[in-house]
Amino acid sequence: MTLTIATSLDEVLSAMANGARPIAGGTDLVVGARQGKVTLPADLVAIDRVTELATVATNDGTIRIGAGVTHADLLTNDIVVRQLTSIADAAALVGSPATRNVGTIGGNVMNGSPAMDTGAPLMVLGANAALTTPSGTREVALADLWTGPGQTSANADELCTALVLPQPPQSSGSAYVRLEYRRAMEIAVVGAAAAVTLDGDSISSVKVALTAVAPTIIEVDGLNSLVGSPANDKAFEAIAEAARQQARPISDLRASERYRRHTIGVMARRAAHAASVRASGQTIEVPVNRAFGIGENPENIR
Amino acid sequence: MFPCTADATATLACTMKTFVRADGPDKVTGSGRYVADLTLTGMLHAKFLYAGVAHGQIDRLDVEAARAIPGVLAVMTTDDVPDHRYSPVIPDRTLFAKNIVRFEGEILAAVAATTPEIAAQALAAIDVAITELPVVNDIEAALADDAPLVHEDWESYDVTGDTIRDRNVATFSAIEKGDIDAALAGAAHVVTSRYVADASHATPIEPRGIVAQWEGDKVTIWTSTQVPYDARDGVCETLGLPANRVRIIVPHLGGGFGGKCGFHFEAHIAALARATKRPVKLVFSREEEFLAPDRRREGMIVDITTGLSADGDIVARKAWVGIDNGAYVADAAFFPQLAAMHVGGPYKIPAVKIDAQLIYTNRQPSGSVRAPTAPQACWAVETHTDELAAAAGLDPVEFRRRNLVRTGDEGIAGQIYDEIGLDQCLDLAVSAMGSPDLPSDEAIGVAIGWWPSFAGPAGAYAKMHGDGTVQVITGAQECGTGAVMTLRDIAADELGVGVEDVQLVYQDTGAAPVGPGATGSQTLLNHGRAVESATQQIAEQLRELAANELEAAASDIVLGDGVASVAGTPAVSVPIADLAATAAGGDLLLGSASAPMPEWPSVSARCVGDQEMASWLAPQFSCHVVRVQLDADTGVARVLDVQAAHDSGTILNPIGATGQIEGGVMMGIGQALSEITQYDEAGKQRNPGLLEYKLQTIADAPTISTQFVEIFTPNAGPRGSKGLAEAPNVATAAAISNALAKLTGGPIRQLPMTPERVWEHLDARRGSDATEVST
Ligand SMILES: Cc1cc2nc3c(=O)[nH]c(=O)nc-3n(C[C@H](O)[C@H](O)[C@H](O)COP(=O)(O)OP(=O)(O)OC[C@H]3O[C@@H](n4cnc5c(N)ncnc54)[C@H](O)[C@@H]3O)c2cc1C
């Protein structure tokens, strides 16, 4: 067993070329190993000290979120909170302060859980994962990255260096909402993210993605028909209906299939509602889950 | 709230407004040692092999290959310990499974090896074959005519007391009073309801640990138990040892909530240590802490029928209570009678017939978890009470005022109550909540609860050293409540010295006289009286010494602020330390006492299968009023505000007492909304871990306000106190249920009232299927 504590990207990539697995916060990897879900890889390379992975930067219409950015940083980062608000909504819900202080967005994405919280926001915001080896970097759409529960299409020697997103247009907003039984240390029973762009009062684009209702995060199809319609309860209900239709939930000890199918509609509706409110220039504090209180309280919108 | 009057009972509470916990710095700085922190030279690591099936016949259990692994020093099975059945009341338990396994966490074998990894390897090398038997998975399955028996040989067990049994019914108790049939027939309204509560867990933060070391024919066992003497007695009984050769020491204990009451695994580890001639250590994983101990909060079914007069007086109550005992009785033999008391409730009811059964199933054994049977039974009966109020056309608070027991009234078992403050609790908590304007997604729910005080034998030693400092040696066990820490204040108060001058020696059966342990809210109630008496003996000696010194009568000497002075003439005084120095030269300052036993009140109802739970010494009362918000789209509920009022007699330590109420309320919220132990069809737990077993977190905490109705209660704890720590865990879930019923159009009837259950309930009420999808 070896543990390489890398301080540069090159070190990480060469360790990985030699078969090491990256470990960022370890909040999935180590916890999973201790629970006996997976065995800890023989060779690990710690990437949490690689500062080049831990920045958020804008450049020429794109935003790059370094894979090593922690949830705690995401939820206070100005670019994320202002422009990619749904990611901040999601990061704010992850685990507890301790989890958020070490857990990273790269780890969240590459762990590939269908219950990951940053996944649906990243998807509706059109993120690609930048996967790097010593010979170069390729960008993969998230829909192609996640292939099943805990599975990605990345090769073992590919490091996710960043999540790369187009800068959202004017008059757009996004939101992530999660069903939670308690207010900390929770895991998504279902969740939904929405990104909405408005043209006046009507929708000029809408995307919705769903958490924990299929083997991977999925994007809701067929919402283009809403383009041009007003962003109102009727549109949100149509989104909820599409989410219920397209969800493929299972029954497990957290919830039944029936309850998940119902609540995914509620989450999709709320996410779309909150995203539209934000797109219209009003503020809903991060995270929407807390700002709405419980239920969907419009008094908390200003 | 705590008037510092001349009343002798108020003085301790007043001095204790600033309560310094002697164990606080250790715990918050991390320097405190728990069992898992202990390491002894040459120490081995133990692991258990569990049945893994809920019911089965052991066909083969071959440990030879495991014994042959280098580094494995012992592998034990039932063949390696005395053939003995144990447990109080119904001895149905053996240390290791013998022929039959009756729940998944039953121990087949124990291993001691040089490392935990080798111990795990040894477990894997044990060759086991078990033929699975039909699983008795719940209360109703156990009562079916053709149900398999969990204990085929139940009739052969050597039970004690008035213990009524029948096949899968481990114990039966009933409380009967008046002519129930006539009373029901004459009632103006009759309401019948069924409530079903799932099992849950105590979930202490520290999974248990044990270290055992033999020196010659004596064994010292460091263990995270709430009840050191029960642990000692269990080791003595199962391994055939005299009491003075087993010493139990508890380092800091990381909580218990009842989960660490009873005798569990100390004998296994002592036996391994004896066989290997080495110290042996066991530390549980979180999963083991969920699966293996004989301590789960029992599932329960409650069927209640209540008759009312036209005016809304309760005239009759008939009920059946079924309690899921699990595979072994542990300490649960008394559960039916206690549950029956709670299903009766703190009400005046002239005609009562409550039958209660403790029922064997192939699940983890149930045992006393904080206020056993009470939260579920209170939830059932108090939800039912709101239904009764509706039937009578009365406001729920008004209905309770009309029917609850007051000073001098007769309770359901026919006990006449001395001065009690239930009515005041109700008034205080209800008026503290007030009647705010509520949005449509919020409601207020009210419930009342009660709980006995338990007296038991407990002793204390006290000594004052030559420098005037004090050592109190107590058998009390600190499980985190601060109750043991409060003993210092009692000693300081009796002796007139500073709290910092009193040190405790505790949690060591080799040093201290016996005590019940941290169980049944007994610590301060019993040990407090013992410490009071032991230190009073020294105070007497000090007064004699001071009387000589100051040329005054001993009865005129007052002890306080480190000096002995003459009453009314404080200038005539001598430092207590000087008196102690004098005594150190001859007649030493020593005290020892066992707490005098209070007298139990008499009951007049017919108690069938009496397990001594119908006569309640110094009963405690409470009222919890909660404000709840509901997300009707998802069924997620949130408790926003809790007003609690408690009659637990004199409050000795206001800070500690308030902490107990707040913790009890939080635990009650968990029971109400999220804590559920789920089982699969094969009788195995589906969620033995903290990710899927949903405790409440601090982020979920509502505002909680506490008021105490302080009634000096003679014939109970020190200075007019009663018990305290379990009472706050009784009424919260019931109050939440009543708030939710208002928001959802009727009671949920299943505990916990999880979001999915609440939503299903709403959905059924809406009469339409909102989730119908056309595919
Ligand atoms: C108590 C607790 C609560 C939690 N709550 C939540 C929650 O609410 N929501 C949620 O979504 N998650 C939650 N999680 C899961 C976890 O914290 C998150 O998924 C977190 O973002 C993982 O990041 P990490 O840096 O710790 O990943 P690690 O554990 O370090 O890595 C996870 C996986 O990703 C791989 N990996 C990491 N970084 C890279 C990279 N840059 N390139 C390629 N592969 C990489 C690792 O090899 C490993 O396979 C919780 C975990 C715990 C322990």
Q: Decide if pLDDT at B450 tops 60.
A: yes
Under 8 Å between Cβ of B564 and B574:
yes
Q: Decide if pLDDT at B104 tops 70.
A: yes
Q: Decide if pLDDT at B479 tops 80.
A: yes
Q: What is the pLDDT of residues B159-194, one digit of tens each?
A: 999 999 999 999 999 999 999 999 999 999 999 999
User: Which of A4, A108, A137, A164 gets mutated to test ligand 1 (max ligand atoms within 8 A of its CB)?
Assistant: A108
Under 8 Å between Cβ of B371 and B665:
no
- The tokens for B547 are 């009387």
- CATH code of B468's domain: 3.30.365.10
B397 and B525 share a domain? no
B505 and B561 share a domain? yes
3-state secondary structure of B499: helix
Under 8 Å between Cβ of B460 and B531:
yes
Which residue, B263, B283, B303, sits at the end of a domain?
B283
Would you say residue B601 lies in a domain?
Answer: no
Distance in Å, alpha carbon of A253 to nearest chain B alpha carbon = 7
- Chain A residues whose CB is inside 8 A of the B699 CB are 182-184
B218 and B72 share a domain? yes
In this predicted structure, what is the pLDDT of residue A300?
Answer: 59
Q: Decide if pLDDT at B770 tops 80.
A: no
Q: Do B756 and A266 touch (CB under 8 A)?
A: no
Rg for chain A, CA atoms, rounded: 19
Which residue, B248, B266, B283, sits at the end of a domain?
B283
Q: What is the pLDDT of residues A66-118, one digit of tens each?
A: 999 999 999 999 999 999 999 999 999 999 999 999 999 999 999 999 999 99
Alpha-carbon distances, residue B185 vs B175, B309, B386, B403 (angstroms): 19, 11, 22, 20
Round to whole Å and give the CA distance between B77 and B150.
Answer: 21
Inter-chain contacts counted by CB atoms under 8 A, chains A and B: 74
* Residues 6+ positions from B108 with CB-CB distance below 8 Å: B48, B49, B50, B51, B58, B61, B77, B96, B97, B101, B126, B128
B107 and B220 share a domain? yes
Q: What is the pLDDT of residues B257-315, one digit of tens each?
A: 999 999 999 999 999 999 999 999 999 999 999 999 999 999 999 999 999 999 999 99
- H or E segment and range at residue A4: strand A2-5
B59 and B27 share a domain? no
Rg for chain B, CA atoms, rounded: 27
Which of the four pLDDT bands, split at 50, 70 and 90, describes residue B766?
Answer: confident
Which of the four pLDDT bands, split at 50, 70 and 90, describes residue B22?
Answer: confident
Under 8 Å between Cβ of B419 and B647:
no
Distance in Å, alpha carbon of A173 to nearest chain B alpha carbon = 24
Under 8 Å between Cβ of B448 and B389:
no
> In chain A, what percentage of residues exceed pLDDT 90?
93
In this predicted structure, what is the pLDDT of residue B7?
Answer: 46
Tell whether B770 is within 8 A of chain A (Cβ): yes
Would you say residue B760 lies in a domain?
Answer: yes
Tell whether B756 is within 8 A of chain A (Cβ): yes
Under 8 Å between Cβ of B137 and B362:
yes
Round to whole Å and give the CA distance between B356 and B350.
Answer: 19
Under 8 Å between Cβ of B135 and B362:
yes
Q: Decide if pLDDT at B3 tops 50.
A: no
Residue type, B389: A
Interface of B with A in 567-586 (CB under 8 A): none
Q: Decide if pLDDT at B9 tops 60.
A: no
Under 8 Å between Cβ of A88 and A287:
yes
**Is it true that the peptide bond before A287 is cis, omega within 30 degrees of 0?**
yes
Determine how many CB atoms are found less than 10 A away from the CB of residue A151.
Answer: 12
Would you say residue B729 lies in a domain?
Answer: yes
Residue reference for tokens 């001859």: B586
Q: What is the pLDDT of residues B606-616, one digit of tens each?
A: 999 999 999 99
Burial of B438 (0-12, 13-18, 19+ CB in 10 A): middle
Would you say residue B168 lies in a domain?
Answer: no
Which of the four pLDDT bands, split at 50, 70 and 90, describes residue B2?
Answer: very low
Tell me the CA–centroid distance for residue A108 and ligand 1, in Å. 4
**Could you say which of A35, A182, A294 has the minimum Cβ distance to residue B696?**
A182
Region B218-231: mean pLDDT is 98
B225 and B263 share a domain? yes
Q: Which of B311, B206, B285 is nearest to B250 (CA)?
A: B206
Which structural domain, as residue segments, surrounds residue B523?
8-32+456-594
B699 and B731 share a domain? yes
Would you say residue B322 lies in a domain?
Answer: no
Distance in Å, alpha carbon of A6 to nearest chain B alpha carbon = 30
Mean pLDDT value across chain B: 95
* Residues 6+ positions from B330 with CB-CB distance below 8 Å: B87, B93, B262, B294, B295, B365, B366, B367
In this predicted structure, what is the pLDDT of residue A298?
Answer: 59
- Chain B residues whose CB is inside 8 A of the A244 CB are 771, 773
Would you say residue B439 lies in a domain?
Answer: yes
DSSP 8-state class, residue B601? P
In this predicted structure, what is the pLDDT of residue B14?
Answer: 65
Q: Decide if pLDDT at A154 tops 80.
A: yes
Q: Do A296 and B638 touch (CB under 8 A)?
A: no
- Chain B residues whose CB is inside 8 A of the A296 CB are 631, 633
Under 8 Å between Cβ of B700 and B628:
no
| Chain-centre distance for alpha carbon B160 | 23
Tell whether B687 is within 8 A of chain A (Cβ): yes
Residue reference for tokens 């005084």: B573
Under 8 Å between Cβ of B709 and B645:
yes
> In chain B, what percentage of residues exceed pLDDT 70?
97
Alpha-carbon distances, residue B221 vs B110, B619, B632 (angstroms): 17, 36, 53
Round to whole Å and give the CA distance between B700 and A184.
Answer: 8
> In chain B, what percentage of residues exceed pLDDT 90?
94
B385 and B499 share a domain? no
Region B63-82: mean pLDDT is 98
Alpha-carbon distances, residue B157 vs B85, B91, B326, B365, B460 (angstroms): 9, 6, 17, 17, 36
3-state secondary structure of A223: helix
- CATH code of B230's domain: 3.90.1170.50
Round to whole Å and give the CA distance between B549 and B552.
Answer: 8
Q: What is the pLDDT of residues A179-229, one digit of tens each?
A: 999 999 999 999 999 999 999 999 999 999 999 999 999 999 999 999 999
| Chain-centre distance for alpha carbon B221 | 23
Q: What is the pLDDT of residues B263-279, one digit of tens each?
A: 999 999 999 999 999 99
- The tokens for B183 are 């009373």
Q: Do A182 and B699 touch (CB under 8 A)?
A: yes
Residue type, B93: R
Which of the four pLDDT bands, split at 50, 70 and 90, describes residue B772?
Answer: very low
Under 8 Å between Cβ of A81 and A88:
yes
Residue A116 CA: which ligand 1 atom is closest?
11
Nearest CA in chain B to A241: B773
- Chain B residues whose CB is inside 8 A of the A237 CB are none
Which of the four pLDDT bands, split at 50, 70 and 90, describes residue B17?
Answer: low
Q: Do B700 and A182 touch (CB under 8 A)?
A: yes
Which of the four pLDDT bands, split at 50, 70 and 90, describes residue B225?
Answer: very high
Round to whole Å and give the CA distance between B607 and B176.
Answer: 7
**Could you say which of B633, B692, B754 has the minimum Cβ distance to residue A295?**
B633
Under 8 Å between Cβ of B350 and B312:
no
In this predicted structure, what is the pLDDT of residue A38?
Answer: 85
DSSP 8-state class, residue B599? P
Q: Decide if pLDDT at B25 tops 70.
A: yes
In this predicted structure, what is the pLDDT of residue A295?
Answer: 75
B737 and B658 share a domain? yes
Q: What is the pLDDT of residues B486-521, one digit of tens each?
A: 999 999 999 999 999 999 999 999 999 999 999 999
B415 and B525 share a domain? no
> Could you tell me if the ipTM is greater than 0.90?
yes
**Which residue has its alpha carbon closest to ligand 1 atom 15?**
A28
Round to whole Å and give the CA distance between A211 and A271.
Answer: 12
In this predicted structure, what is the pLDDT of residue B4?
Answer: 43
Region B215-236: mean pLDDT is 98
CB-ligand 1 contact for A159 (6 Å cutoff): yes
Residue type, A176: Y
Could you tell me which residues are beta bridge partners of residue A192? A177, A210
Which residue, B221, B250, B283, sits at the end of a domain?
B283
Which of the four pLDDT bands, split at 50, 70 and 90, describes residue A294?
Answer: confident
Determine how many CB atoms are found less than 10 A away from the CB of residue A19.
Answer: 13
Tell me the CA–centroid distance for residue A218 and ligand 1, in Å. 19
Determine how many CB atoms are found less than 10 A away from the CB of residue B681.
Answer: 8
Tell whether B754 is within 8 A of chain A (Cβ): yes
Nearest CA in chain B to A252: B686
Number of domains in chain B: 3
Nearest CA in chain A to B699: A183
B579 and B702 share a domain? no
Q: Which of B628-637, B742-751, B766-775 has the lowest mean pLDDT?
A: B766-775
Under 8 Å between Cβ of B229 and B476:
no
Would you say residue B152 lies in a domain?
Answer: no
Q: Decide if pLDDT at B10 tops 60.
A: no
Residue reference for tokens 């110290």: B279
Q: Decide if pLDDT at B13 tops 80.
A: no
Region B96-121: mean pLDDT is 98
Under 8 Å between Cβ of B553 and B564:
no
Max CA distance (Å), chain B: 99
Under 8 Å between Cβ of A210 and A123:
no
Round to whole Å and give the CA distance between B479 and B462.
Answer: 22
Region B635-663: mean pLDDT is 96
- The tokens for B551 are 């040329």
**Which residue has its alpha carbon closest to ligand 1 atom 36?**
A107
Q: What is the pLDDT of residues A118-137, one digit of tens each?
A: 999 999 999 999 999 999 99
Would you say residue B740 lies in a domain?
Answer: yes
Under 8 Å between Cβ of B708 and B660:
no
Residue A68 CA: which ligand 1 atom is closest?
41
Tell me the CA–centroid distance for residue A184 and ligand 1, in Å. 16
B741 and B620 share a domain? yes
Distance in Å, alpha carbon of B66 to nearest chain A alpha carbon = 22
